[in-house]
């Protein structure tokens, strides 16, 4: 990836006439902010990068967009950044002229902040901690039944949370006592054979 990419020239050239000055302006401001920034094409759009993505720009039929890759992490003291990550809207909404963009100094501030975030290795979207599984409530009548079948109980106790849940939900959701009893008997039989509730489909 070089500082300038011929594919960006071609992208601008084939854009609508209203879009060309907007894209050229964004490109010039980005490179003016730092000589370290290079260009590339991702997902059919021009991207500006340094140790990761900084920002991107795009031209559509009736508007342009410019978006910062880590907009949610940028200190927005001007309170003008959009929180949405949709490429068609970008960080500043729909752009139909250069006047729709923030001043050069503001853009450079955001660009330099983005470079700093990349240099520190800050991720754009930190992974969320996995949600805790709800405690599985096993009906007393099923627990008592399993107590009389040691092998079935051992298999059930050794199953994963999801395998246990499949059995419990199947039994609890029975509409009649007769159906529930039939499912209990079948469950004991299958568990004694080491089978999961969905063994027929695996």
What range defines the domain where residue 97 resides?
Answer: 6-119
Token pair for 113: 């902040």
Tell me, what CATH number does 79's domain have?
Answer: 3.90.1150.200
pLDDT at 78: 81
b/e code 13-38 from CB counts within 10 Å (16+ = b):
eebeeebeebbebbbebbbebeeebb
Q: Are residues 25 and 89 in the same domain?
A: yes
Q: Are residues 105 and 189 in the same domain?
A: no
Q: Are residues 74 and 108 in the same domain?
A: yes
Token pair for 92: 């500043």
Confidence category of residue 9, pLDDT binned at 50, 70, 90? very high
Mean confidence (pLDDT) of the chain: 86
User: What is the strand order of the sheet 38-42 is part of?
Assistant: 38-42, 45-49, 53-59, 64-68
Q: Are residues 109 and 174 in the same domain?
A: no
Give the count of domains, the chain: 2
Token pair for 16: 């609508």
Model confidence pLDDT, tens digit, residues 104-139: 999 999 999 999 998 887 765 544 555 556 778 888
Q: Are residues 30 and 62 in the same domain?
A: yes
Q: Are residues 161 and 97 in the same domain?
A: no
Q: Are residues 106 and 30 in the same domain?
A: yes
Q: Are residues 110 and 147 in the same domain?
A: no
**130 domain-assigned:** no
Whether the Cβ atoms of residue 24 and residue 12 lie closer than 8 Å to each other: yes
Q: Are residues 20 and 115 in the same domain?
A: yes
**134 domain-assigned:** no
Model confidence pLDDT, tens digit, residues 24-54: 999 999 999 999 999 999 888 899 999 988 9
Q: Are residues 39 and 80 in the same domain?
A: yes
Q: Are residues 78 and 148 in the same domain?
A: no
């Amino acid at each position: 990836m070089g500082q300038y990419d011929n594919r960006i020239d071609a992208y601008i050239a084939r854009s609508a006439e209203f879009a060309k000055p907007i894209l050229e302006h964004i490109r010039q401001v980005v490179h003016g902010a730092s000589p370290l920034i290079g260009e590339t094409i991702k997902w059919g759009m021009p991207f500006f990068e340094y140790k990761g993505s900084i920002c991107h720009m795009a031209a559509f039929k009736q508007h342009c967009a410019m978006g910062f890759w880590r907009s949610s992490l940028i200190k927005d003291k001007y309170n003008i950044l959009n929180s949405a990550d949709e490429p068609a809207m970008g960080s500043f909404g729909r752009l139909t002229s250069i006047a729709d963009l923030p001043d050069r100094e503001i853009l450079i501030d955001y660009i330099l902040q983005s470079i700093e975030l990349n240099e520190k290795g800050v991720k754009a979207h930190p992974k969320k901690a996995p949600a805790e599984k709800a405690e599985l409530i096993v009906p007393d009548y099923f627990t008592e039944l399993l107590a009389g079948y040691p092998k079935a109980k051992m298999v059930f106790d050794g199953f994963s949370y999801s395998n246990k849940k499949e059995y419990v939900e199947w039994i609890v959701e029975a509409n009649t006592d007769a159906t529930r009893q039939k499912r209990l008997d079948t469950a004991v039989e299958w568990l004694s054979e080491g089978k999961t509730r969905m063994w027929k489909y695996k």
